[in-house]
Structure 1
Amino acid sequence: MANYKQADYEALRRRCVELKQTGWKQADIARAFGLTPAWVSQTLKTFRQQGESGLTTGKRTGAPPRLMMEQLDQLTTELTKGAGHHGFSGQVWTRLRINQVIDKLFGVSYDPSQIGRLLKKVGWSRQKPARQARQQDPQAVANWQEERLPALKKSQR
């Protein structure tokens, strides 16, 4: 396809429709402008379905958001209460857990792969939990390694 700027496409779409209305074939229109026949076909189909409004250049929007900003604010408030507050064991939030909270609060379910994108939108970042629990007692670990671990190793022999 030829290198057209985004602003040129609206005029190009209008010209394709004009030429088609004067009897040009789609293949000839595509060849004249260096376009693919599929592009011309799609342009003409859009014109038939939507009329003049289908030819205008506009930002293509995706699906509307399932949660409004106020709901996202409410979600972050709930998440700061901790996973235990919502009935989960431990305080680690996972995408699946967050999705369950969203479903419970708002009746909306996301694919777990999209939870990170949703949280990034409100300024949260993905973090890995520390390997060692903060509440772990170093003295108790040392005692266990000195007393209990050797006994376990001996009993395995």
Structure 2
Amino acid sequence: MPYLPSSSVSGSSVPPLSRPQLAEARRVRAVELFEEGGSNVEIARAVGVCAESVRRWRRVWEGGGASALRRRSATGRPPKLDDGQVNEVRAALERGAQAHGFEADLWTLERVGLVVERVTGVWLSRASVWRLLTGRLGWSLQRPERRAVERDESEIARWIAHEWPRIKKGR
């Protein structure tokens, strides 16, 4: 069974670890086992990785210590929105689309982009809006249910209770 730090166990009140955090937790556990004198195969089995990964980690650890196996900050272009702006956008979006003057209370990438620009003054492409929603905010795509306006729930319940059993018997 792979190594799971206590904060990634389901039922815990601590949020689950991201993949990079989990990978770092495995390397930290491997360092503890290196210091206890464990073999590469034993350590690999204990943390849930292949022995080659443990050999590579051991070489890095021997060359630079435990800090050499720590996660490094992401490289690349810095995000257009800082954490404070992302929190402002989150609060604005949670008020709903109608609070921002849209007729229907549904969000599209274009609408979210307009709200982001109103709140922060920063224009984002549709792709960047998607990354903001799914990556930084942790939201997912939610499609609205399509139901007829004329739908009569009481008539549907009556049909299921009375008509469906009668039809089903005739099979």
Give the TM-score normalised by structure 2.
0.43
Which protein is bigger by CA-based radius of gyration? 1
